[in-house]
Amino acid sequence: MKDDTNRYFTKALQDFTFDVACGAAIRHLHELGYTPEQIADRLDYPISAERVKRYVDKLDGTGTQGQTDGDYEIVLDHDEYGRSSFVRVKKEK
C-alpha cells in the first residue's frame, strides 16, 4: 500500500513540475496551431515530441485520461479577464 501511495505522489509531483516548467509555453504554442514536433523544436529546454504530444492530447481531451465521446467537444473559452482555458461542452444537435 505504501508503494502505491509513493508512486502516486511521485507521478503527481512529476506532472506538477512539468506543468510549471513548460505547461504554459506548450499551451500557448498549441493555441497558435503548432504541432507537438514543432513545439518541441521551438522550446529552449530538452523535451521530446512524444511528451509534448501526451500533454497536448490531455489538453484536447483525447488522452487516455480525458476520453470524450461523440456528444462532447473541447472548446477554447475566455473569461472576463481574458484568460483562456479549454472547456468540455455538450455538442448542440
| Cell numbers at 4, concatenated | 502505491
Helix axes 24-31, 49-60, angle to 10 degrees: 70
pLDDT at position 15:
87
The 10s digit of each residue's pLDDT in 54-80 is: 899 888 876 544 444 567 777 888 888
User: Where do the structural domains in the chain lie, given as residue ranges?
Assistant: 2-67
**Quick check: helix, strand or coil at residue 28?**
helix
**C-beta separation of 68 from 61 below 8 A:** yes
Half-sphere exposure of 49 (CA within 13 A, CB side): 8
pLDDT in tens, 10-46: 989 998 998 888 999 999 999 888 999 999 999 988 8
